A and B are shown apart, each in its own frame.
Chain A
Amino acid sequence: MRSIHVNQIIEVVSKLCVDANYFLNQDIRIKLEEACKKEKSPLGKEVLNKLLVNADIAAEKEMAICQDTGMAVFFIELGQDVHLEGGSLNEAINEGVRRGYDKGFLRKSVVEDPIFRKNTNDNTPAIIHYDIVEGDRLKIDFAPKGFGSENMSALKMLKPSDGIEGIKGFIIDTVRKAGANPCPPIVVGVGIGGTMEKAAIMAKKALLRPLGIHNTIKYVEELEKEMLLMINKIGIGPAGFGGSSTALGINIETYPTHIAGMPVAININCHATRHASFEL
Chain B
Amino acid sequence: MSEVRKISAPLNDGDIESLKAGDEVYISGVIYTGRDAAHKRLIQLLEKGEKLPFDIKGQMIYYVGPCPEKPGQIIGSAGPTTSGRMDAYTPRLLELGLKGMIGKGLRDNNVKKAMINHKAVYFGAIGGAAALIAASIKSQEIIAFEDLGTEAIRRLEVEDFPVVVVIDSEGNDLYEKGIMEFSQE
Whether chain B is bound by chain A comes out as: yes
Please name all residues of chain A whose beta carbon is closer than 8 Å to the beta carbon of B68 when the two chains form the complex: 105-107
Residue of A nearest to B105 (CB): A181
Q: Are B124 and A180 in contact (CB under 8 A)?
A: yes
Scoring B residues 153 to 185 as 1 if CB is less than 8 Å from chain A, else 0, what string do you get? 000000000101010000000110111111111
Please name all residues of chain A whose beta carbon is closer than 8 Å to the beta carbon of B24 when the two chains form the complex: 43, 46
The distance from the CB of A235 to the nearest CB of chain B, in whole angstroms, is 4
Scoring A residues 60 to 91 as 1 if CB is less than 8 Å from chain B, else 0, what string do you get? 01011111110000000000000000000000
The distance from the CB of A276 to the nearest CB of chain B, in whole angstroms, is 17
Residue of B nearest to A183 (CB): B127
| Bound CA span A43–B165, Å | 12
Scoring A residues 93 to 126 as 1 if CB is less than 8 Å from chain B, else 0, what string do you get? 0000000000001111100000001010100000
Please name all residues of chain A whose beta carbon is closer than 8 Å to the beta carbon of B178 when the two chains form the complex: 41, 235-237, 240-243
Known: A105-B67, A117-B37, A119-B149. A180 touches B105 (CB 8 A): yes
Q: Chain A contact residues: over half helix, strand or loop, or mixed? A: loop
Contact of A121 among B149, B181, B182 (CB under 8 A): B149
Counting CB contacts under 8 A, is A239 at the interface?
A: yes
Number of B positions contacting A (CB below 8 A): 50
| Bound CA span A135–B48, Å | 62
Residue of B nearest to A64 (CB): B77
Contact of A107 among B67, B82, B179 (CB under 8 A): B67
Known: A57-B135, A239-B126. A43 touches B182 (CB 8 A): no
| Bound CA span A109–B151, Å | 10
Q: Are B132 and A69 in contact (CB under 8 A)?
A: no
Known: A64-B77, A179-B106. A240 touches B175 (CB 8 A): yes
Known: A64-B77, A107-B76. A151 touches B128 (CB 8 A): no
| Bound CA span A272–B79, Å | 13
Counting CB contacts under 8 A, is B66 at the interface?
A: yes
Please name all residues of chain A whose beta carbon is closer than 8 Å to the beta carbon of B175 when the two chains form the complex: 179-180, 236, 240-242
Please name all residues of chain B whose beta carbon is closer than 8 Å to the beta carbon of A5 when the two chains form the complex: none
The distance from the CB of B132 to the nearest CB of chain A, in whole angstroms, is 4
Contact of B70 among A58, A66, A105, A151 (CB under 8 A): A105
Residue of A nearest to B69 (CB): A105
Q: Are B174 and A242 in contact (CB under 8 A)?
A: yes
Counting CB contacts under 8 A, is B78 at the interface?
A: yes
Residue of A nearest to B106 (CB): A179
Q: Are B183 and A233 in contact (CB under 8 A)?
A: yes
Q: Are B184 and A235 in contact (CB under 8 A)?
A: yes
In the complex, chain A residues 22-53 whose Cβ is within 8 Å of any chain B Cβ: 40-44, 46-47, 50-51, 53
* Most A-side CB within 10 Å, residue of B69, B164, B180: B164
Please name all residues of chain B whose beta carbon is closer than 8 Å to the beta carbon of A180 when the two chains form the complex: 104-106, 124, 127, 166, 175
Taking Cβ atoms with an 8 Å cutoff, the residues of B that contact A are 1, 22, 24, 37, 64-70, 73, 76-79, 81-82, 84, 104-106, 124, 126-132, 134-135, 148-151, 162, 164, 166, 174-175, 177-185
Can you offer 21 A-B residue contacts whose CB atoms are under 8 A?
Answer: A43-B22, A54-B129, A57-B132, A63-B70, A65-B77, A66-B127, A67-B77, A105-B76, A107-B67, A107-B77, A108-B149, A179-B105, A181-B84, A181-B105, A183-B104, A233-B184, A234-B179, A239-B127, A239-B164, A242-B177, A244-B184
Taking Cβ atoms with an 8 Å cutoff, the residues of A that contact B are 40-44, 46-47, 50-51, 53-54, 57-58, 61, 63-69, 105-109, 117, 119, 121, 147-148, 151, 179-183, 233-237, 239-244, 270-272
